[in-house]
Amino acid sequence: MKFLSAVVSFENLHEVRRLCHWGPVIALSVIGICSTMAMLDSIIWYWPLDTTGGSVNFIMLLNWTVLILYNYFNAMFVGPGYIPLGWKPESQQESQYLQFCRVCQGYKPPRSHHCRKCNRCVMKMDHHCPWINNCCGHQNHAYFTSFLFLAPLGCSHAAIIFIMTMYTQLYERISFGWSTVKIDMSAVRRVQPLMPFSVPAFAATLFALGLALGTTIAVGMLFFIQMKVILRNKTSIEAWIEEKAKDRIQYYQTGEEFVFPYDLGGRWENFKQVFTWSGTPRGDGIQWPIHPKCHQHTLTIEQLKQKADKRVRSVQYRAVEDYNGACCPVSKGLHTFFRTPCTEEPRIPLAKGDTILATRGTKWWMYGDKVLGEEQMKAGERIRGWFPRRCVEKCHYDTAASDNTSEKKIN
């Protein structure tokens, strides 16, 4: 009991609720199905107590399962690391280079971003991952990437076991005719396995094989995407900021040279910023080692420039139809229904007469901020998201640049 009370403290029990989400439920179900079926099929195909190879195969299978779950739960429960509420820089002068978060009532240090799902400012935020129901950031980036590395390896091993089990069990049950191929699942093999390989066992193995191959491909691609940004000491968000910086400089022809401040010049040096022997990443999540040509606020200054540019280039629209905020609204047309954005970003309900500052969009949907009243803005509210293009029309007069409320938008 003492051990349990030490592991599960009262103040951390709320973290267990992260498991009650479709992402962890699906992820753990896939891990459980693939691991369980691989162990059962190993008993049928390569009994671990008969040969050394069978023992090594079974131990490796258990090893994959333990390592995958270890990194998965660490990525989920260790968390990305959150900026303290109401955080301020030591020097008041530095605040002019930082964005202010009205939700957390504090400034955002370099590389931090506010997550709408977690409702906190996250250290070195990469993205919010639905599969762990948490953000991937400074403290759990190594665990998350290790999970992405181990899951395809474990699933590949399991897929080999599934294929070999089906091959060895069906080899003597397949009969070839002139025009047909028949599989007799009732045929008795010369050497009976410890567990019978029946029709349900065949169906379950085939289903697990599909899960294992799908996971290997999908998670393997995510691993390569993560490693690409890690070896440059970036996050997915920072890669997007860098791309927008180049577009801004080219659009305005400013002649600036934007150097990404956190790329230390070598892949190994960048790699060591995330992966350490202790499992704890380098740094405190606020101060970072930087490129010689840059300073601590190079990226935050660029973000402020992009925010100002976003306000200037935003277009004002007025709602002409009501919209209830549905993800796939049937009443707004088939194109709107089938072309809904494939993203977790929210949809915002609209009432006729609402004003929206749109910043981007597709042919059938638009994304922007709803213009709020002064009291709502003082309370720190911000309503932004996607809405159908057919529900709004462009204002014939440009008030986006001159509207005082747009200057008070939350960063």
List the structure tokens of 286.
């606020």
Radius of gyration of the chain (CA): 27
Instruction: Look at residue 409 and give its three-state secondary structure.
Output: coil
Pair type for strands 127-129 and 134-136: antiparallel
Q: With helix as H, strand as E and coil as C, how does 368-401 read?
A: EEECCCHHHHHCCCCCEEEEEHHHEEECCCCCCC
Those residues whose C-beta lies under 8 Å from the C-beta of residue 366, and which sit 6 or more positions away, are 317, 356, 358, 360, 386, 387, 388, 389, 392
Q: Provide the 8-state DSSP code for 99.
A: -
Specify whether the CB–CB gap between 386 and 357 falls below 8 A: no
Q: Which whole-number Å values give the CA distances from 86 to 43, 109, 171, 359, in the listed order? A: 57, 11, 67, 29
Residue 122: CB atoms within 10 A of its CB come to: 29
Q: Provide the 8-state DSSP code for 107.
A: E
Catalytic residue among 129, 135, 155, 391: 129
Those residues whose C-beta lies under 8 Å from the C-beta of residue 85, and which sit 6 or more positions away, are 104, 105, 106
Annotated active-site residue 129? The verdict is yes
List the structure tokens of 90.
């030591």
Catalytic residue numbers? 129
